[in-house]
Amino acid sequence: MNWVFEYSDLLIKGFLTTLELISFSLVIGFVCAIGVALCRVSETRWLAWPANAFTSVIRGTPLLVQIYIVYFGLGSIFAHMPIIRSSFIWPYLRDGFWYMVFALVLSFAAYVGEVVRGGLVGVPKGELEAAKAIGMSPYKVMLRIRLPRALYQVLPTLAGESVMLLKSTALASTIAVVDLLGAANEVRSMTFEVYQPLILVAIIYIVLTLIIEQFFGRLERRIPVRR
């Protein structure tokens, strides 16, 4: 187990990268997911249809393929544009990190968007009619009644999706982003310890999963919902 101490810097850096990946994509992805869900339930067809197509495409293709398309496809288009290459954002765009965040956001937005849509549809009609009856505008009904009710309802599913997102971050090492798994793989290649680094990685992922579940569990308990 000497390798843990010998390569602790590398492993901690990888761990932090995994945390960054999950937090960025969770927050941005969640906001996008609400947008997707609102478009999905919208009665305006030019909003509903693209959102529908987006969800189908993202949910219907493997995440790894999406990551490759974003990183090798989009990434090499950027690389061939002198404006971007000479600009200050190039140092960010040459790195795999933001491509990974982008791919994860897309994926999370599609999956959670669908979940939130289910929640929106599931809000009892009576409540919406009551809100309308006391004079709320459609916008206010959505913001104050329908969306909050939907989000409460989907919280347990959201916890599950967040855990899935955490596990998806492990794909980052396929595009040379040194996340927790990437760091472990580096350690494995240097020390030829085949299994131990992987077991350490698995344990850390389990702990992170438990933390995420705890977080959502608390959130659920704090929200007063009469079922």
Partner 1 sequence: MKKFLVAMALSFAAVASHAADSLRIAVLAEPYPPFSQKMPDGKWEGFEIDLIHKICTDMKVKCQIVDTAWDGIIPALLSNKVDAIFASMSITKERAKKVLFTHPYYNTLPAVVGLPGQDYSMTKKALKGKYIGVQNGTTSAFYIKKKVGSVAHIRQYATQDEINSDLLAGRLDYMLADNIAAKAFADKNKGAVQFYGTVKYDPVLGGGVAAALRPNDKALAARFNKEIDQLVKSKFYADLSDKYFGTNIAPTNN
Binding region for partner 1 (CB under 8 A): 72, 75-76, 79-80, 85, 94-95, 173-176, 178, 182, 185-186, 188-192, 194
Half-sphere exposure of 11 (CA within 13 A, CB side): 14
Closest approach, Cβ 22 to partner 1, in A, equals 22
With a CB cutoff of 8 Å and minimum separation 6, the contacts of 183 are 7, 10, 11, 13, 14, 15, 17
Crossing angle of helices 97-122 and 45-60, in 10° steps, is 120
Give Cβ neighbours of residue 68 (< 8 Å, ≥ 6 apart). 174, 175
CB of 103 to partner 1, least distance (A): 16
Q: Which is nearer to partner 1, 101 or 147 (CB)?
A: 101
Nearer to partner 1, 72 or 215 (CB): 72
Q: Tokens for 114?
A: 């669908």
**Smallest separation, CB 205 to partner 1 (Å):** 19
Which amino acid, one-letter code, is at 188? Answer: R
Q: At its nearest, how many Å lie between partner 1 and the CB of residue 206?
A: 23
Q: Which is nearer to partner 1, 95 or 220 (CB)?
A: 95
Amino acid present at 54: F
Tell me whether residue 3 or residue 30 sits nearer to partner 1 (CB atom): 3
